């Protein structure tokens, strides 16, 4: 379908567009004003007219919520659908109960608020409130003052690029030589900016460290040693509560690399299968098998890691409940310490989205929610299977976020055994602490005491990043 949203003025574009897209994920949705002549005269299968009333600046939120409520009811009647997260878009679902709980509301009041004000389903409302309560309990023991921060270091290389990837990552095979130049720039940036942070009165050590990407373990043993040694030399990690390396891809593991991580105090890693079905792994462009994941996991346990996370994705090409059950059965047998369940997001910049668009160019009538004949299906039932498996492993949900264009309009949820929750994930989601981020595409976030947040993002392109760092600090 070709759907238009026509407004009387240029306002609330993002929120209204996201809400309509949630009802029609695979359709073309355009938003425009009466004055936008080109778009306003195009023929549409469905055109929604929205009248934005005049309002004072402090009425903006109420007006926006009112419009979204009306639109949600209208589209609900039209499609016969109810969305699991109701009209929530552009906000992390846990934010609302976090705020209400901080103001003294009970959990029951928070659940009712989400259901009545935002049309969130009862199940998802309970999930959001359970997570918010748990986050609050975990954060009670974490220093959150202005001088505190967490550290993020980006390694933009992977063994191969996954079909759905939109992270800033390049295949290490092609960038082997550049990786050393990248580390030179990254270490220079960390040294120089750290000196500046100390002058500003920031703490000499981060609350948590997260090395992500990309796949940091795509670096060679020597490169990994160099990076971790530099982090340990620059920062005081004596009081750091958590040190994560997103090892991620089983095809990047070796015993020597794991020993480098252990030697430098890394106490949490991820071994991310995404799926335990070899055919799906091939389709999504991974160069490892399910068997490799088992080997990597065992290797990590043998190396002494006591906090191992596994990531899985629901909605991968061709996977339904049966495939999800199979993946969960293998994960349960391994018994990791945490499980992060993602809903596949089909993002514009991914190869997956490009391929879907190409399919449509070749065949006008092609099903828009399908990739090369494979379904891309996620459902509340599949999410339930994952949640039930996590709870059977003694885990509880502890963080949650949503992205645009997620299959089934669902969510990503992190489950963990008590005490094995990833603090960095909570801090970054709830935006309660500054993140000092280093490397290409890394996003530094300054959180001020009055709640103000400033962000700055480094150059995504690795060559440009290297050049800029040398221009700024040499
Ligand atoms: S492992 Fe992650 S970062 Fe690397 S290509 Fe796949 S999705 Fe992208």
CA distance linking residue 235 with residue 371, whole number of Å:
46
Query: What's the pTM?
Result: 0.92
Domain containing 368 equals 149-464
Strands 208-213 vs 170-171: parallel, antiparallel or unpaired = unpaired
Q: Are residues 50 and 124 in the same domain?
A: no
Instruction: Provide the 3-class DSSP secondary structure of residue 457.
Output: strand
Give 12-68 pLDDT, tens digit per residue.
999 999 999 999 988 889 999 988 878 877 888 999 999 999 999 999 999 999 999
pLDDT score of 1: 85
3-class secondary-structure state, position 35: coil
- Asked whether residue 137 carries a pLDDT value surpassing 90, the answer given is yes
Q: Are residues 65 and 15 part of one domain? A: yes
Pocket test of ligand 1: the residue of 170, 172, 212, 214 to mutate, having most ligand atoms within 8 Å of its CB, is: 214
Question: Residue 130 has which token pair?
Answer: 């359970």
DSSP 8-state symbol, 53: P
312 and 362 co-located in one domain: yes
The predicted model gives 408-425 an average pLDDT of 94
Nearest to 128 by CA among 102, 104, 103, 107: 107
Is the same domain home to 110 and 178? no
How far is ligand 1, taken at its centre, from the CA of residue 211, in Å? 14
Atom of ligand 1 nearest to the CA of 249: 1
pLDDT digits (tens, 9 = 90+) for 210-245: 999 899 999 999 999 999 999 999 999 999 999 999
> Measured in angstroms, how far is the CA atom of residue 83 from the centroid of ligand 1?
29
φ/ψ region of 90 (left if φ > 0, alpha if ψ in -120 to 50, else beta) reads left
Residues 124 and 222 placed together within one structural domain of the fold: no
The answer on pLDDT for 91 being more than 80 is: no
- What does the DSSP assignment read for 402-426? --TTBGGG--EEEEE-TT---HHHH
248 Cβ inside 6 Å of ligand 1: yes
pLDDT at 373: 83
The answer to the question of residue 474 being in a domain is: no
Mutate to test the pocket of ligand 1, among 159, 169, 170 (most ligand atoms within 8 A of CB): 169
CA-closest residue to ligand 1 atom 8: 165
From the CB of residue 48, how many other CB atoms can be counted at a distance below 10 Å? 18
Q: Provide the CATH number for the domain around residue 221.
A: 3.30.750.200
The rounded percent of the chain whose pLDDT value lies above 90 is 78
pLDDT at 474 over 90: no
Q: Are residues 439 and 332 in the same domain?
A: yes
Most confident of the ranges 293-297, 367-371, 427-431 = 293-297
> 248 C-alpha vs ligand 1 centroid, how far in Å?
8
My answer on whether 98 and 200 are in the same domain is no
Do residues 255 and 359 both lie within one domain? Answer: yes
- Determine, yes or no, domain membership for 472: no
**Residue 170 in contact with ligand 1 by CB distance below 6 A:** no
DSSP three-state, residue 209: strand
User: Average pLDDT, stretch 94-98?
Assistant: 94
Tens-place pLDDT, residues 267-304? 999 999 999 999 999 999 998 999 999 999 999 999 99
> 350 CA distance to ligand 1 centroid (A)?
11
Same domain, 249 and 121: no
Atom 5 in ligand 1: residue holding the nearest Cα: 161
Residues in Cβ contact with 205 at an 8 Å cutoff, skipping those fewer than 6 apart? 235, 236, 237, 238, 239, 240
How many separate domains does the chain show? 3
């Amino acid at each position: 379908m070709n759907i238009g949203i026509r407004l009387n003025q240029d306002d609330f574009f993002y929120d209204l567009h996201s809400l309509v897209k949630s009802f029609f994920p695979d359709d073309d949705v355009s938003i425009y004003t009466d004055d936008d002549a080109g778009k306003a005269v195009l023929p549409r299968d469905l055109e929604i007219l929205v009248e934005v009333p005049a309002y004072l600046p402090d009425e903006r939120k109420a007006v926006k919520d009112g419009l979204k409520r009306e639109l949600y009811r209208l589209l609900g009647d039209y499609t016969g659908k109810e969305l699991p997260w109701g009209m929530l878009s552009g906000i992390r679902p846990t934010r609302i109960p976090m705020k209400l709980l901080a103001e003294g509301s009970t959990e029951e009041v928070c659940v009712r608020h989400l259901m009545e004000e935002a049309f969130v389903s009862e199940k998802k409302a309970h999930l959001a409130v359970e997570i918010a309560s748990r986050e609050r309990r975990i954060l009670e023991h974490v220093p959150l003052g202005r001088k505190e921060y967490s550290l993020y270091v980006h390694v933009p290389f992977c063994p191969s690029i996954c079909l759905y990837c939109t992270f800033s990552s390049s295949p290490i095979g092609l960038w082997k030589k550049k990786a050393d130049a990248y580390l030179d720039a990254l270490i220079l940036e960390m040294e120089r900016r750290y000196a500046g942070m100390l002058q500003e009165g920031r703490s000499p050590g981060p609350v948590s460290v997260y090395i992500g990407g990309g796949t940091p373990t795509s670096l060679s043993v020597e490169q990994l040693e160099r990076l971790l040694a530099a982090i340990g030399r620059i920062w005081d990690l004596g009081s750091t509560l958590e040190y994560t390396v997103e090892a991620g891809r089983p095809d990047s593991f070796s015993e020597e690399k794991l020993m480098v991580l252990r030697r430098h105090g890394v106490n949490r890693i991820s071994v991310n299968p995404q799926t335990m079905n070899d055919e799906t792994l091939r389709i999504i462009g991974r160069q490892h098998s399910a068997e490799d994941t088992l080997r990597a996991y065992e290797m990590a346990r043998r190396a002494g890691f006591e906090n191992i996370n596994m990531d899985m994705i629901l909605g991968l090409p061709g996977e339904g409940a049966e495939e999800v059950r199979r993946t969960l059965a293998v994960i349960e047998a391994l018994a990791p310490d945490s499980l992060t369940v993602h809903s596949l997001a089909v993002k514009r910049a991914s190869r997956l989205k490009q391929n879907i668009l190409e399919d449509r160019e070749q065949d006008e009538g092609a099903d828009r929610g399908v990739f090369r004949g494979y379904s891309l299906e996620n459902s509340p039932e599949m999410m339930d299977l994952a949640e039930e498996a996590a709870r059977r492993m003694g885990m509880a949900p502890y963080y949650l976020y949503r992205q645009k264009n997620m299959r089934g309009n669902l969510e990503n949820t992190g489950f963990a055994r008590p005490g094995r929750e990833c603090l960095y994930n909570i801090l970054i989601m709830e935006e309660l602490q500054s993140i000092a981020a280093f490397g290409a595409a890394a996003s530094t976030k300054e959180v001020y005491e009055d709640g103000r947040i400033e962000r700055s993002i480094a150059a995504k392109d690795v060559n440009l990043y290297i050049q800029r760092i040398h221009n700024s600090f040499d």
